[in-house]
Amino acid sequence: IRKIGVMTSGGDSPGMNAAIRSVVRTCAFHKLECIGIYRGYQGLIEGDFKPMDARSVNNIIHKGGTILKSARSKEFRTKEGRDIAFAKAKQQGLDALVVIGGDGSFTGAMIFSEENDFPVMGIPGTIDNDIYGTSSTLGYDTALNTVVDAIDKIRDTASSHNRLFFVEVMGRDVGNIALNAGVGAGAEEILIPEENLGRDRLLESLKRSRASGKSSSIVVVAEGVETGENVFALKDYVEQNLPEYEVRVSVLGHMQRGGSPTCWDRVLASRMGVKAVESLMDGNYNNMVGIQDTKIVLCPLEKAVKGKTAIDKELIRVSDIMTT
Ligand code: F6P
């Protein structure tokens, strides 16, 4: 391996810049060439490349977003698109690709590597923390802190007005952000797709909470395009059944994807970037870098793509006890 391409792909997440920096500087340290690929696979198809050296990544460790930009490429989902991408990679003299992204990006990387016998390495970058083979993805910790900060603020106004707030958080179809930020922010109830409690249980819990003397409440709801509750329908349902509640909805949305990464995400990104490049140098192709029990490890890309993550049942129980 002499020349490595690095890209960010799919939904961006805080810590992606720190990971780019780490990949670029590890290449420089080992005297490998590093090529930045703009806009993920779309940039690979279009040959949107820029050689990067240690100085190209100055002053980015603390920045949210990604200096390489990101995209979800439709063209790369087709064989024709991937063939063009491979031709561009060869033209550029790339020997391997580091893809910083989520499961969709890794699926693309896996197919690309199988079709062309091309070495790839994944670094998990997504706020959702929904990737098998790592206990934490880049950006997850930052997103949790962003959500907790937002809920703390919502709590102020909720309590001033004795209101119930439904706060919708991101996470595609997984409840990790909702569950962890919900516990961290002291939510009354946390609705996640993995544990559908049903609306009646929510009503019961809200009744109990009022009866126990609480005047305002925060309910965290995980978004879930396929699986989750529609937060506005929930609001209507509660207002119809519990008229004593004045309800408001706050959808946090894309602000959860921005902001300066936490120290945890920066350190994780730095460690993962080193492992990604050095594993490629050692011939450990087609893996994803992950963290397990504080150790940086490799997980075969196929497992990372196909494996299912599980929600933390113990934390669900903790949350139940905390709402007593
Ligand atoms: O996967 C990251 C994520 O932010 C999800 O939490 C969310 O469902 C989705 O991306 C939003 O995607 P887009 O940026 O395309 O609206």
| Annotated binding-site residue? 266 | no
Q: What pLDDT is recorded for position 225? A: 54
Cα–Cα dist 48/55, whole Å:
20
pLDDT digits (tens, 9 = 90+) for 72-102: 999 999 999 999 999 999 999 999 999 999 9
Nearest-angstrom CA–CA distance, 93 and 49 = 12
Summary count for the chain: helices (H), strands (E)? 11, 11
Six-digit token string for 39: 């806009």
Mean pLDDT of 166-193: 94
Burial of 227 (0-12, 13-18, 19+ CB in 10 A): middle
62 is in an annotated binding site: no
Cα dihedral sign for 265, 268, 270, 276?
Answer: negative
pLDDT (tens digit, 9 = 90+) per residue, 246-279?
999 999 999 999 999 999 999 999 999 999 999 9
- Cα separation, 285 vs 257, in Å, equals 29
Q: Which atom of ligand 1 is nearest to the CA of 257?
A: 4
Cα separation, 19 vs 216, whole angstroms:
41
Residue nearest to atom 12 of ligand 1 (CA): 11
Q: Would the pTM count as exceeding 0.90?
A: yes
pLDDT of residue 283: 97
> Is residue 161 marked as binding?
no
Q: Counting atoms of ligand 1 from 1, which one is nearest the CA of 72?
A: 15
Q: How far apart are CA 102 and CA 138, in angstroms?
A: 10
Return d(Cα 31, Cα 252) in angstroms, integer: 43
Mutate to test the pocket of ligand 1, among 103, 127, 144, 256 (most ligand atoms within 8 A of CB): 127
Task: Identify whether the C-beta of residue 51 lies closer than 8 Å to the C-beta of residue 302.
Answer: no
Among 79, 108, 111, residue whose Cα is nearest residue 7: 108
The complex's ipTM works out to 0.97
DSSP annotation of 246? -
User: How far is the C-alpha of 95 from the C-alpha of 81, rounded, in Å?
Assistant: 19
**What phi and psi values does residue 264 have, to the nearest 5 degrees?**
-55, -50
Which of 178, 180, 173, 38 is closest to 104 using CA atoms? 173
Told to judge if 128 belongs to the known catalytic residues of this protein, a careful annotator would answer yes
Which residue in this structure is represented by tokens 């490595």? 4
